[in-house]
Chains A and B, each alone.
Chain A
């Protein structure tokens, strides 16, 4: 049997030279006159090993990584096509502890095969959920998703089934499914990995959502910063149309569903669902006041389901294996699994899907292996730029919507960014305010003005300009932003700021070495 060589086409692998590795392998194959099949798969999520080259021979599939182009001749010399020993050898891929200990439901297929092979998708459990859904009434599908306990994976944690039910029952001849793939949070890349590594699961999830809620049109709104994801999704949609999954008759049924990709233009706030809808309509991405809920008056005023990529990509497995199967994973009111993204200053960065309930400390120290720099962990920001900074003292916090809220934090889109002891938390608090000022849509005053004032106040603390007074002012400002902002951008920016202030007060002291004239510092 011809060996199969897998080199990921995921953006993270490309960014560290996967294409050059493929070139090196191809030229080595032809120079040595060896025949092997070369497949570009999605990423397995072991990003510290990227570019991770896998080889399948017989019934084994083994991994080598991180492979540089210069390593390729040596790999051939070592007989890597038959699993030969080499310093980059990691044994059978599925036995690597980082992968073996995961519970992969949403990411079950990601990295296994060519993302655009519909045959591979079908032979690895794809489309079973959609077929099951087609045999059910819409209300039954909604009930199954509700029973699974699936909550919005974008961060808000709203029960997906309840949202679908609202849209199903809303009057209206035209309804929409909008997939929020505007993954702008630093430390997150799970949506991108699904779009690049298993696009059909998202198409399947959106189609099921359409059937369940009575919508025949879907939009996937993603970011201009994700060119590879856009390309893969567009290609996958074309393939799904040809195969009769999308179109006037979904898999030969009486249901019609089709979808298109739409690309944002660099506005972080468009990840907020109402500003996303405005952007899709061709307007400024300004936040809308709620009510009305998008489920009742969403895109072009029609009832609209707006779900995150991970929520929709979790639907096929729920429809395949049943609500109970999914619900039995997790803890408390957080059911199922969460694709957690380990990022920043961490030794073993990548994607780790696990049932809710795993602790932050296990994630950072045991699974992530501590910092990349080897220095002590100082803080971990969970949930993107609007998430709180956790000190190691809170590492026993379980990954669970409620447990994080109880610690004045949020799991958000489950991005975990690790900082070592060189981080300055005053600077991080300043950045949170600065980012909010750059990305504010400008509609509400607490966010638009508050963020600018926030930067100034933090700068005054750094300058030792009546610091105690300024710290009180900062707390007051955060309170105003939290309670008075229209959306999560202004409303959650206080999380990183206040957590930095609460857990790292020693950093909020004057910094004589950074003294600059205030006007310059506030720019």
Chain B
């Protein structure tokens, strides 16, 4: 994921991604996923290119992108911490854990620390409900979390 990509480059890379999926049925979500994987978000320039490739209006593509929680208009911080807020995690103190992290980082849900280190996102179920409370730090899953374990994860993000 690169943060500073020239506009023309974004357009070219987004066009190449779209081309890869053009023969699939209903290709928009796979395209958006790949664009976000490449750029860390779905930049406006890419959105225009995708709309053009799929013969959709920009409003339609924006409408789809903004419907889904996963897609971002701006890149996230260097690390993303997703904490499960659903019932199974609530039943073993998940809310208090999350509250502690928000306080420690000084940010609310969907926000990024001022140094760009961590973005905090809620997630409604990671399917680890028998090993709750659970969280996902970048691509790594964590279950049976407690305050100390979660603090370790947040510390790790500082390095």
Which residue of chain A has the shortest Cβ distance to B66 in the bound complex? Answer: A284
Question: With an 8 A cutoff between CB atoms, is A395 at the interface?
Answer: no
Segment among A78-86, A120-128, A183-191, A465-473 that sits at the interface with chain B: A183-191
A332-348 at interface with B (beta carbon < 8 Å): 341-346
Query: Using Cβ atoms and an 8 Å threshold, which residues of chain B touch A233?
Result: none
Contact A343 B130 (CB under 8 A): yes
Q: Is A522 at the interface (CB under 8 A from chain B)?
A: no
Contact of B131 with A by CB under 8 A: yes
Which residue in chain B gives the minimum CB-CB distance to A389?
B87
* Contact sample, A vs B, 15 pairs, CB 8 Å cutoff: A12-B131, A15-B141, A50-B131, A186-B88, A225-B123, A260-B24, A262-B30, A263-B30, A284-B63, A341-B129, A344-B92, A346-B130, A349-B129, A415-B129, A428-B90
Is B91 in contact with A16, judged by CB distance below 8 angstroms?
no
Given A186-B88, A267-B69, A344-B88, the answer on whether A225 and B130 have CB atoms closer than 8 Å is no
If A263-B29, A431-B87 touch, whether A282 touches B128 (CB-CB below 8 Å) is no
B68 in contact with A267 (CB, 8 Å) = yes
Would A15 and B128 be within 8 Å (CB), given that A284-B67, A344-B87 are in contact?
Answer: yes
Q: Which residues of the other chain, A, contact B68 by a CB distance below 8 angstroms? A: 264-267, 285
Binary per-residue interface labels of chain B (56-95) against chain A in the complex, 1 for a CB within 8 Å, 0 otherwise: 0000000110011111000000000000101111111000
Q: Which of the candidate stretches A29-37, A135-143, A205-213, A416-424 sits at the interface with the other chain?
A: A416-424
Choose among A184, A279, A283 the residue that contacts B125 (Cβ–Cβ < 8 A).
A184
Residue of B63, B87, B131 with highest tally of chain A CB at under 10 A: B87
Tell whether, in the assembled complex, residue A184 and residue B124 are in contact, meaning their CB atoms are under 8 Å apart: yes
A404 lies within 8 A of chain B by Cβ: no
B130 touches A381 (CB 8 A): no
The answer to whether the Cβ of B28 comes within 8 Å of any Cβ in the partner chain is yes
Q: In the bound complex, how far is the Cα of B87 from the Cα of A346, in angstroms?
A: 13
Identify 8 new A-B residue pairs, CB closer than 8 A, beyond the known A265-B33, A280-B25, A282-B26. Answer: A15-B128, A186-B89, A260-B24, A262-B26, A282-B64, A341-B129, A345-B91, A417-B88
Number of interface residues of A (CB under 8 A): 62
CA distance A50 to B84 in the complex (A): 20
A417 and B27 CA atoms in complex are apart in Å by: 37
Select from chain B the residue with minimum beta-carbon distance to A227. B139
Give A153-196 as 1s and 0s: 1 = Cβ < 8 Å from B's Cβ atoms.
Answer: 00000000000000000000000000000011111110010000
Q: For B24, list chain A residues within 8 Å (CB).
A: 260
Q: Contacts A16-B131, A265-B68 given: A423-B28 contact, CB under 8 Å? A: no
Closest to B129 in A: A343
Quick check: is B32 within 8 A (CB to CB) of the other chain?
yes
Bound-state Cα–Cα, A345 to B90, Å: 9
Q: Does B142 contact A (CB under 8 A)?
A: yes
A192 and B127 form a contact (CB under 8 A): yes
In contact, A341 and B91 (Cβ under 8 angstroms): no
Residues of B within 8 A of A281 (CB): 25-26
Residues of A within 8 Å of B32, CB to CB, are 265
Instruction: Please report A residues at the B interface, Cβ cutoff 8 Å.
Output: 11-12, 14-16, 47-48, 50, 183-189, 192, 224-227, 260, 262-268, 279-286, 300, 341-346, 349-351, 372-373, 381, 385, 415, 417-420, 423, 428, 431, 435, 438-439, 441
Which residues, 117 to 159 on B, are CB-close (under 8 Å) to A?
Answer: 123-132, 134, 136, 139, 141-144
- For residues 40 through 70 of chain B, which have their beta carbon under 8 Å from a beta carbon of chain A? 54, 63-64, 67-70
* B-side contacts of A186, CB under 8 Å: 84, 86-89, 124-125, 129
Contact (Cβ within 8 A) B124 A439: yes
Least distance between A11 CB and chain B CB atoms (Å): 6
CB proximity of A153 to chain B, nearest CB, Å = 16
Contact B127 A11 (CB under 8 A): yes
Bound form: Cα–Cα A227–B89 in Å: 20
CA distance A16 to B91 in the complex (A): 18
* Contact across chains for B131 and A15 when beta carbons are under 8 A apart: yes
Q: Do B29 and A279 touch across chains, with their CB atoms under 8 A apart?
A: yes
A-side contacts of B141, CB under 8 Å: 11, 14-15
* Minimum CB distance partner of A189 in chain B: B127
Q: How far is the CB of A365 from chain B (nearest CB, A)?
A: 16
Q: Which residues of B have CB within 8 Å of A264?
A: 29, 68
Please indicate the chain A residues that have their CB under 8 angstroms from the CB of B130 in the complex: 12, 47-48, 189, 341-343, 346, 349-351
The residue on B at minimum CB distance from A422 is: B93
Docked-complex contact B125 and A225, CB < 8 angstroms: yes
Q: Assuming the A-B contacts A344-B92, A344-B132, are A16 and B126 also in contact, with contact meaning beta carbons closer than 8 angstroms in the complex?
A: no
Q: Closest residue to B142 on the A side, CB-wise? A: A15
Cβ of A522 to closest chain B Cβ, rounded Å: 16
**Residues of A close to B126: CB separation below 8 A:** 11, 15, 225
Give, as a whole number of angstroms, the nearest-CB distance from A426 to chain B.
13
Query: Which of B33, B87, B91, B128 lies in contact with A263, CB distance below 8 A?
Result: B33
Whether B87 contacts A284 by the Cβ 8 Å rule is no
CB < 8 Å neighbour of A187 from B26, B27, B88, B142: B88
Nearest opposing residue in chain A for B24, CB measure: A260
B75 to chain A, nearest CB (A): 16
Chain A residues closer than 8 Å to B124, beta-carbon distance: 184, 186, 268, 385, 435, 438-439
**Residues of the B chain whose Cβ atoms lie less than 8 Å from the Cβ of A267:** 67-69
Contact present for A189 and B129 (CB under 8 Å): yes
Contact assessment for B69 and A47 in the assembled complex, using a CB-CB cutoff below 8 Å: no
